[in-house]
Structures are given as structure tokens and as C-alpha cells.
Structure 1
């Protein structure tokens, strides 16, 4: 099977799965579905094949290095050698001097502030509205859904819907599902540099690829959500304006710093809990052995997700390893999965497989994020509480299928 045929087969299979579990196959808005696939494909090809865009994306790696160096200067001043400053004593070499909490997570603070300033200065609102119009014209979605989807490229799954809070109550069930699914298919701008820093040695130009993934997964999520929960537009097609939330730049910095700190604490706590739980489950499974190898949660997930890994272009001999990472991303979260991929032994996955997985795992579709999404959405629109709870698990499926579809397209473009 050629690379193109395999990519098409993989993508078609993912769409077939969404169609099979559709609430109402007769009501599927095919213009939205086809428009989403076409837009996703065109955007991905443009980013990979147009020289100017490729150079721009590659240049983002230099931006990331600058952000990391700037953050290191701050963490070194506050945390000393724990934050990256020279050690006051000789290292024994028996362990790593890299400390995630003090050297990597603080990048979230800087990214949160930069995002807030770009938003306050009007840069992000212009990009969001441009992408929103593109989605409305091509995919025939309402203005509110288009705006929330466009904002999700840069903001988080709860922050983006806040921009359309006055219209949330008027969304139809299908539109509500679309907004939630798009949130599950991307990652917040505040954590992009963190993920890129983790993957920098395995994936060249990691920040650029993560940013591309956020762009191209958005129309894909709209397409898959339209397949799974189709509906007519609600009464939310009123003109939506992006409101400023900060009075000045200093106000934006202070607010974003506070929000970034909460994000860091949440990430750190989530890592501790989930990694501990995985270790506990593996301890409980340790009494089971298969061919003298102890059974682990990662191993079980690897075999379960291996067919999906193959569908998106991973070679079969690497599919169990890749499936394990996809399972970790779904059951735990994408950060743990990226850390696990970065810590794999050299040669465990090819460079192509690691790039495919960078796209396939770049989304919040996991059980932990679902709790955050449900909590945030029910607070913003109590009217839709029943729908939000009913659609919750489906958003994980839609978000996962969207990111996997990105892997399918990328697998062909880098063959």
C-alpha cells in the first residue's frame, strides 16, 4: 500500500468510526464535514510545502530558544541552581540536574503573559477574527462557533468559549458539542513552549509543529463533531465582538501571571497524581506476566491502541510502542505522553513516527481535561448542563479522532 493510499485509508477509517457512532446520520451537514477536511488538508500542505511558511515555522524554534533562555534567567534569579544557575558544588553525575518544576514549568508563566499582551494589543484578536471568518465561509458554521474555534488555536478549552459567553445559551446541541470538541482537539498557547521544550531533542522545530497542529486540528474537530452530533444552527449567529478584559498592559501582565501560576500548580499536581496512579496500577499488575515480562498499563494500552497507531502511518513494528503513548495521552494526558516519548531509548521510534505522534497527541482529549471542561462549561451556561454532561465522553472521542487525522495527513507529507 502506497503512503498516499494508506493516509487516505486511515483518514477514511477515522471518519467511518465517527459516522458509525453518529446520533443522526440523516442530518449530517456534509458541507461542514467536507469543508473541514479540505481546509485541514490545505492548511497542512501549505505549512509543509510553501517555502516561506516552512522558514517561518523553522524560525519559531529560535523564538522558543529565546523564550527558554529568558525564562531561565528568571528561574535562576529566584531558585538559584535549582532553576538552572551554576551549581555551587560539584555534581556527582549520578542523576539529572534538570528539575521540571523549576526549569521547565515556569515557561508557562512567560507564555501566559505574552499571550495576554498580544491579546490586549489587538494582535491575537485580529488573527482570531480572520480565522473565524474563514471557518464561517468554508464550513458554514455560525459566527459564535467559528469565533470560539479560532480562539481555541491560541487559548485554552475553557478560555476560548468565554469569548462567546453571551451566546452559549443560544447554541444548539450540535454547536455546543462542536465548541467542546474543538477544545479537546487543541492545546493552550501557554503550554506550547513547554511541550516544545520537552520534545526539542527528538523533534526538530517542535514549537512550529505544535503550533501547526493547533491550527489544523481545529477544522478537523468541527468536521468530526458534525459527523457525531449533527444539528442545525442555533440562534447564535449574531455578530460577536472580542471584548478587552484588561485596562492596560500592566493589568494584563499581572492578571496573566496569576492565571499562569494557577496553571503551573495544576500541571504539577496533575503530573504527581497521574504518574503515581500509573505506578500504583503497574504494581498491582506486576503479579501478571506474559512470556516472563510483567504486564503494565502502558503495555496494555499499547496493544489496544496499536491499530490506531498503524492507521495514522506508524510502521507496524513500532505500533505497540506508539499505541502505548497514544493510550497514555488519552487515559492520563498529553504532557505525560510527551515526556514518555522524550525519554524513550534512542531508536525506539523513528524520527517520522515521533513527528506523526507529535501531531496525533497534540490535544486535551483525556479524562482529566474532561473534568475541567465540564466544570468550566456548566459554570458558563447552566442551561446546557444536561447536554454538557451527556456529551462529555463523546468530546474525548471527537478530539482524539481530530488529532489522529492530523497524523494521517502528516504521515504522507513527510514520506
Structure 2
């Protein structure tokens, strides 16, 4: 009985806190909240109880991985072993051979070129209008946001907005924030295989669970974002207009898309370096304080203590809540990769099988300070006229993304 009441209470607390932190409480749409919860629970039941449905979505991830492999072919040619090619020497520490700038981020260039081509071919405008029709009848959101939210399940927080780049300037404040929150609440298909490999010995069918987590968190992100920054009734479809392509041919579209992505790539690199450096500075200052329980204080450790009651609310037993809270602290201050490594390592022995599965879902999102740097750099380059708005909403998007993944963890705890 308690295992059911805990996550129900957790969902109520998460939504209650979001409502208290809302910019306009009276404007919160009850329809959006109910539709978001229904989609979360419906997707969880579908994907966790009907394995064939999960297989369909895994095939979509294969498409993303095909683009990633194609990108790697280019990075290997240009950057050699730094871009993922075979090293011309013996690698003593292969776990350190991954170079983010030359192996993961070049996907932005390819996605930008593909999205420009698909926009020129009028494929993306059709998808935008299709999502507009669907989401207006379920959650009351617009089509450009819907396509961006759906894409976030399979690609990253900077690649997904590239698909709707022509619409970004016209998005309402609420829709822009929802797009940012979706980026924070999901993970890209390009890292799903990496995370699944890390958790393979800890969580059975890890790949299926990580994909399911990202799918369930998409409607959760739209719901939480809509509560924190409610939409104006006349603004939902502001971006759905016929925007002509400026490209003159398919090759021109590919060229423009590629060249437009170069400043985006550089912006992301610069912001990521600075944000991680600032976290390190804070931890160095905290390290000057006296140790607690024989260990130095860090930002992620402090946040872990705060997150322990939250971990209990989503279904983790109190005896394991401190460990689960520390994982959330690591994920928020550092990143989800390090949190998953910890979950698969020392934390695995301290958590039950059920708790490990719940935390797999709760950790499955990009909501951390490093990702904030990536998002500000990426979206700011794509929509420079809205950079101030993006920066102002940045920290709130981390909060919203975290609340979305926590609600996904609570939903899964209800079903298990």
C-alpha cells in the first residue's frame, strides 16, 4: 500500500510545487495537467507492459544512430583518431578516448544540414502542422513545439531545435520555455547506447528502460513547463505560419545549414567550458570548509542531502533515500553520465532492484549546469534576438527538467 501512496504523494507534491512557483497561477491549464499525466501513465503502461511497442520506438532510435554513424565517418576523415577513428598507438586508457568536441558535437553540423534540406523539401512544415493538429486536441500546445518536443526524445537539446529553427523567433515565451524544458528532461538517442552499456549489469533491459524514460518525460516536460510558465490563450499557434525557405536548391540548403551550424558549435563549446569551470570553482571554495563525515563538501553532496526527501517521495524507501538523493545531486551539479556510473558502481549495492529501476528513470535527463551552457550557447545562436529571454529562463528550465524526470520516476514506481 505504501509503495503506491508514496509516488502518488510525490506526483501531488511535484505538481503543487510547480503551481506555487508558477508565473501566473490562475492561468494554469487543468486540461494540460490532466493530459500530461494521462500521457505519462498511458505511455508507461504501453511501453512497460507491451514489449512490441518498445521495439517500434527502438527502431526509431536506430535511425538516429545511423545519422550518428554517418557523422562519425566524416569526423574520422577530418579529425582522425580524435574524431573516433582508430588510434595510431596503443591506448592505455580507452575510457578516456572520447573527445566531446570532435565526436559528439559534430552531429550538430549534420543535423543542421539535414533539417535545412527537409525544410526546403517542405517535409518539416508538414510535420509541424501535423503535430499542431495532434497536440491542440490533447495538450493544447502548438505544432512547432510538438515537433521539437518529439525530436528531443531521439536527438539532443541543440539538435532538436534545429528542426524548427525557422519557427524559434515566433514561439511564445511559454512555448520557448517548454522546448527548453523538453531538452532538459530527455536524453539524446546518441547517448542512450552509452548509458545502456553502463547499466547493463545493474538494470535488466537497460536500453529499453532508458528509451522509455525519455519518451515518458516528454509529456511530463510539457506539463511542468506549462504550469511554471502558462501559455496565453491566443499565443499557442503564433509560430504556425507559412515560412518560405530561403534556399534555392537542395545543395544550397545543405550548404546554408552546415555553415549556419558552425557558430552554434563554437558557442556550445565555449559555454560548456565556462559552466563546468564555474562548478569546479564553487567546489574548490567549498573544499576550504571543514570536512563532514570524513569527506570534503561539494555542491553535489549538499544538493544530495536536500534531494533525499524528494527521492523518498517518488517511491524510494527512506533507508535508501540518502543514496538516491546523492545520485540526483551528482546528476544536477555534474551530469547524468557520472550519476549512471555511480548507480552502476558503489550505489548499486546500496539500492534494491526496484530502487535502481526508479532511479534509472529519475536520472534520465540532461538537466544540469553543463547542459545549461550547451542550451544557452545553442539556442542563443539559433535565435539571437531571444538570447536574453533564453538566459533568463535557463535556471528555471533545469528545475522544470528535474521535476519532469522525478515525476516520470514516480509514475514508474506506481506501475512496478
Query: Could you state the TM-score of these two structures normalised by the residue count of structure 2?
Result: 0.76
Deviation at 1:306, TM superposition (A): 0.2
Q: Which one of 328, 334, 345 corresponds to residue 332 of structure 1?
A: 334
Q: SS of 1:187's equivalent? A: coil
The verdict on how the C-alpha distance between 1:267 and 1:324 changes in structure 2, with shifts beyond 3 A counting, is farther
Q: Which residue of 2 aligns with 1:101?
A: 97
Q: Which whole-Å deviations, capped at 9, do the CAs of 1:165-217 have from their partners, x for residues lacking one?
A: 22222222212211221121112222222222222222222222221122111
Structure 1's unaligned 5+ residue stretches are 90-95
For residues 11 and 227 of structure 1, the distance between their equivalents in structure 2, rounded to whole angstroms, comes to 14
The CA deviation string for residues 198-256 of structure 1, in whole angstroms up to 9 with x for no partner, is 222222222222211221111111111111111224252526799899959xx89xx7x
CA contact (8 A) 1:44 1:216 kept: yes
- Superposition TM-score, scaled by structure 1 size: 0.76
Secondary structure of the equivalent of 1:39?
helix
1-side partners of 2:66 and 2:239: how far apart?
A: 41
| Counterpart Cα distance in 2 of 1:242 and 1:214 | 32
CA-to-aligned-CA distance 1:3-23 (integer Å, 9 cap, x gap): 222221111110000000111
* Native 8 Å contact 1:143 1:236 kept in 2: no
The residue that corresponds to 1:396 in the other structure is 398
Match of 2:377 in 1: 375
5 Å matches for 1:84-99?
98-99=94-95
Contact 1:182 1:399 in 2 (8 A): yes
2:292 matched residue in structure 1: 289
More displaced, 109-118 or 37-46? 109-118
Q: CA deviation at 1:343?
A: 2.5
Corresponding residue number in structure 1 for 2:198: 198
Q: Superposed, which structure 2 residues align to 1:1-12 within 5 Å?
A: 1-12=1-12
Gaps of 5+ in 2: none
Tell me, in whole angstroms, the C-alpha distance in 1 between the residues paired with 2:374 and 2:272: 15
CA gap of 1:346–1:173, structure 2 versus 1, over 3 A, is: closer
Determine if contact 1:84/1:103 at 8 Å carries over to the other structure: no
Q: Is the 8 A contact 1:178 1:222 kept in 2?
A: yes
2:198 and 2:12 mapped to 1: Cα distance?
A: 32
Residues 264/16 of structure 1: CA separation in 2 closer, same or farther (3 Å cut): closer
C-alpha contact 2:320 2:351 (8 A) present in aligned 1: yes
Find the counterpart in structure 1 of residue 21 from structure 2.
Answer: 21
Please state how far the C-alpha of 1:389 moved relative to its aligned partner. Answer: 2.6
Match of 1:384 among 379, 382, 386: 386
Secondary structure of the residue aligned to 1:157 is coil
Map residues 6-405 of structure 1 onto 2, 5 A cutoff: 6-53=6-53, 98-102=94-98, 108=104, 133-232=133-232, 233-234=234-235, 235-238=237-240, 280=284, 283-285=287-289, 287-290=290-293, 295-344=297-346, 346-405=348-407
In structure 2, relative to structure 1, the CA distance for the partners of 1:179 and 1:171 (3 Å cut) is same
SS in 1 for 2:202: coil
